[in-house]
Amino acid sequence: MKTKPNKSLKKSGLGLIRRNSTAWLLLLPSVLLFYFFVWRPIGIGFMYSFFKLQNYVPTQFVGFDNYREVVTDMLFVKTLTNSFKYVLWSFVIGFVPPILFAVMINEIVHMNGFIKFSIYFPQIVPVVAAALIWYFLYLPGESGVLNILLGKLGLPANDWLQNANQTIPLIIIMMTWQGCGGSMILYLASLQGINQELYEAAKMDGAGVIRRFECVTFPAIFPIVLLQFVRQIIGVFQVMIEPMTLTDGGPNNASVSLNLQGFKYAFQNFQPERALALGVITFIILIVVTCFYFRLQKKLGE
């Protein structure tokens, strides 16, 4: 015996759509843009990574051959290691300064707005322009700005980006200078939402500055710290423009990252299928990191 659909449910569903028609219309442009510029390219890239491409057109299904070629390439281990080095150095150099600046600005009364603007300003500088500024700062020889300053102090010139051991930390310093302001604003917004009575109570109990930070400030901003932790991994792991502009992956591939190597596969070596396979591998790594974040957040919320 066939059952007829529940008309009341059907009407309620249509009524729900009608009632929220304005919201759907407002969302539609964003959804379409997201589909055409994010979801669709990801889907096509994943599909094409299993084909041989001729002029970016699939010609032959090769299965996992493209992935095998990428993984067995001598540069793969180097680029993967470098990408993790970028992430590690970003935490050593760049994770704490935004928190310190946010705490400092939250405590300052005079010239608060000027200091906030000064720290945030590098965030609005285009990445290539910022990289070129730091390129001239790091320029080796006597013409480099930093080497000129060292000469004034009577110190020998440094190789800077030409030294393979210094390249990644120096690039991270530039990235920290540019990205610190955005993270600082998030931390500052979280700090300004803390109930001031908690600080007053801590002061009455004899808590000093460090103790107040441990007991009041850090627990309050911990969700933002955790979010920034994962955002920093995802953002830094995909680094490309900075090493491409400053070093082109050198010296001796010491600063080449996964995304930069993918760019070279696609536009220098004309091997787009390898670039797509490497992009999928990077995507999977980042998905694993994101899943770990949600699992950790769920556990901490219990």
What pLDDT is recorded for position 51? Answer: 93
Mean pLDDT of the chain: 87
Integer angstrom CA distances of residue 292 from 93, 229, 233, 287, 300: 23, 12, 12, 9, 12
24 Rama sector, left if φ>0, alpha if ψ -120 to 50, beta otherwise: alpha
Closest C-alpha to 92, from 176, 34, 13, 161: 176
- Name which of 32-41, 132-141, 164-173, 197-206 the model is least confident about: 197-206
Q: How confident is the model at residue 206 (pLDDT cuts 50, 70, 90)?
A: confident
Residue range 39-92, pLDDT digits in tens: 898 899 999 999 999 888 898 999 999 999 999 998 999 999 999 999 999 999
Residue range 240-286, pLDDT digits in tens: 999 999 999 989 999 999 999 999 999 998 899 999 999 999 999 99
Closest C-alpha to 107, from 192, 222, 180, 181: 192
Q: How confident is the model at residue 94 (pLDDT cuts 50, 70, 90)?
A: very high
The HSE-up count of residue 55 (CA atoms within 13 Å, CB side) is: 0
Q: What percent of the chain shows pLDDT beyond 90?
A: 50
What pLDDT is recorded for position 209? Answer: 77
Residue range 111-151, pLDDT digits in tens: 888 888 899 999 999 999 999 999 999 998 888 899 999 99
8 Å CB contact between 175 and 94? yes
What pLDDT is recorded for position 166? Answer: 93
Q: Is the pLDDT of residue 208 over 90?
A: no
Q: How confident is the model at residue 9 (pLDDT cuts 50, 70, 90)?
A: very low
Give the count of beta carbons closer than 10 Å to the beta carbon of residue 9: 9
Please compute the mean of the pLDDT values over residues 28-46 and round it to a whole number. Answer: 90
The HSE-up count of residue 231 (CA atoms within 13 Å, CB side) is: 13
- Name which of 9-13, 107-111, 177-181, 182-186 the model is least confident about: 9-13
- What are phi and psi for residue 248, nearest 5 degrees? 55, 30
d(CA 260, CA 241): 8
d(CA 29, CA 73): 42
The three-state secondary structure class of 60 is: strand
Token pair of 14 as six digits: 């249509």
Q: Find the farthest-apart pair of alpha carbons in the chain and give their distance in angstroms, rounded.
A: 95
pTM of the model: 0.86
Host H or E run for residue 52: strand 51-54
Integer angstrom CA distances of residue 302 from 148, 169, 214: 56, 37, 22
Please compute the mean of the pLDDT values over residues 160-186 and round it to a whole number. Answer: 93
Q: How confident is the model at residue 218 (pLDDT cuts 50, 70, 90)?
A: confident
The residue ranking higher by pLDDT, 208 or 54, is 54
